[in-house]
Amino acid sequence: MVAPSLLSADFGNLESEMQWVNASHAEWLHLDVMDGVFVPNISFGFPVLKHVARLCTKPLDVHLMVVQPEKFIQQVAELGAFLMSVHYEACTHLNRVIAQIHEAGMKAGVVLNPSTPVCMLEDVVCDVDVVMLMSVNPGFGGQRFIPSTMSKLARLRRLLDESGSHALVEVDGGVTLDNASMLRKAGVDMLVAGSCVFSAPSPVEACNQLASL
């Protein structure tokens, strides 16, 4: 399954970008919110997200790269998002934040930066619906995949199996047509793909090709 990331879209042509996404085999639309504090970049905020939510027929996967993401749970729920993912590194009280996301009627995802080990999730994997590994340092599209993500994925798979968690595994950053099969074999359920899809000669074909792997 694949979730194209809006970060690499042409923001001057959101209607046509959403038209191809709606017609594609994409499972979700991935939305990256950045605050310039948790990550060294700023992306888009709720006015843009509301516009996109109106245009997009795919389920919305909202990835918050912000400090204190719990402040925005209500606004993300009001967008109609089905999944809100927060960073382990941004939540002092992660267990509470996960419960609050569920109370707001959404699925909850937890995200790990490349330098955060999988073992930090031992006590939450049974409470979350998605575990997402960053395979680049978050903040920018178009970066190169960090190879050590592969051994981390093996450790995550083991942790999920041993704890009986049914969380989906998502990988975000540097996904390409060249590494997608390897990621699938490593047990990745959802591939987030930004630049590799949006900069392709035919984004819809690139997206469908990733979805078929």
Positions marked catalytic = 32, 172
Choice from 9, 28, 32, 108 touching ligand DX5 (CB under 6 A): 32
The residue number with the shortest CB distance to ligand DX5 is 194
Q: Binding to ligand DX5 by residue 63, rule CB under 6 A? A: yes
Q: Binding to ligand DX5 by residue 156, rule CB under 6 A? A: no
Q: Binding to ligand DX5 by residue 138, rule CB under 6 A? A: yes
- Tell me the C-alpha distance between 6 and 11, whole Å: 9
Binding span for ligand DX5 by CB under 6 A among 75-83, 87-95, 147-155, 188-196: 188-196
Helix (H) or strand (E) holding 3: strand 2-4
Q: Binding to ligand DX5 by residue 69, rule CB under 6 A? A: no
- Tell me the C-alpha distance between 42 and 33, whole Å: 8
The closest of 119, 6, 99, 117 to 60, measured between CA atoms, is: 6
The closest of 59, 211, 195, 194 to 129, measured between CA atoms, is: 59
Contact 4, 194 (CB under 8 A): yes
Q: Dihedrals φ, ψ of 184, to 5°? A: -60, -45
- From the number of C-beta atoms within 10 Å of its C-beta (0-12, 13-18, 19+), residue 146 rates as middle
Cβ nearer to ligand DX5, comparing 103 with 212: 212
- Tell me the C-alpha distance between 114 and 173, whole Å: 10
Binding span for ligand DX5 by CB under 6 A among 20-28, 44-52, 90-98, 167-175: 167-175
Residues 170-199 that bind Zn ion (CB under 5 A): 172
- Tell me the C-alpha distance between 43 and 160, whole Å: 32
Q: Binding to ligand DX5 by residue 87, rule CB under 6 A? A: no
Least spacing, CB of residue 95 vs ligand DX5, in Å:
23
List residues binding Zn ion (CB under 5 A).
32, 63, 172
Q: Which residues bind ligand DX5 (CB under 6 A)?
A: 5, 7-8, 30, 32, 63, 136, 138-143, 172-175, 192-196
